[in-house]
Amino acid sequence: MLEDGSVRLTACETWRCGVELDSYCNTGYDPNGKHIAIIKDTIQNHLCHMMDDRTDDSSWHTAKVVYKKGTIKVYLDGKKILTQAGIELGDQVYLGISAATGGGRNEQKFRKFIVS
């Protein structure tokens, strides 16, 4: 975490991107409510997003992220919800998983995680 409280994605030397399932609206840079987004470099830079209450509905969901030929696609419960082209990750890719609620309280769980 940086001095200003922000988080910067730093593992990859070329493109830094992530997928966030966010149940808290940070005033000033987040969409207005619970959302799922593809982000670049920092959590403040949303390349694309969709509003979605499933981010904290206390139900199990299936999430899938596919990267192929410069495009990231995000699926939730078997349905494609986001697509972002123009993302070149390079030959070496790092994967991380994180969950947070700021000053709030919430429970985030993974039941099954597969990388292929």
pLDDT tens sequence across 41-88:
888 889 999 999 988 888 898 889 998 888 999 999 999 999 999 988
Provide the pairing of β-strand 71-76 with 17-22: unpaired
Contact of 31 with 44, CB cutoff 8 Å? no
pTM confidence score: 0.80
Provide the domain limits for residue 78: 1-116
The total number of structural domains in the chain stands at 1
Q: Phi/psi zone of residue 52: left (φ > 0), alpha (ψ -120 to 50 degrees), beta?
A: beta
User: Residues with Cβ < 8 Å from 101, sequence gap 6 or more?
Assistant: 23, 24
Render pLDDT for 22-36 as a digit per residue (tens, 0 to 9).
888 888 888 888 899
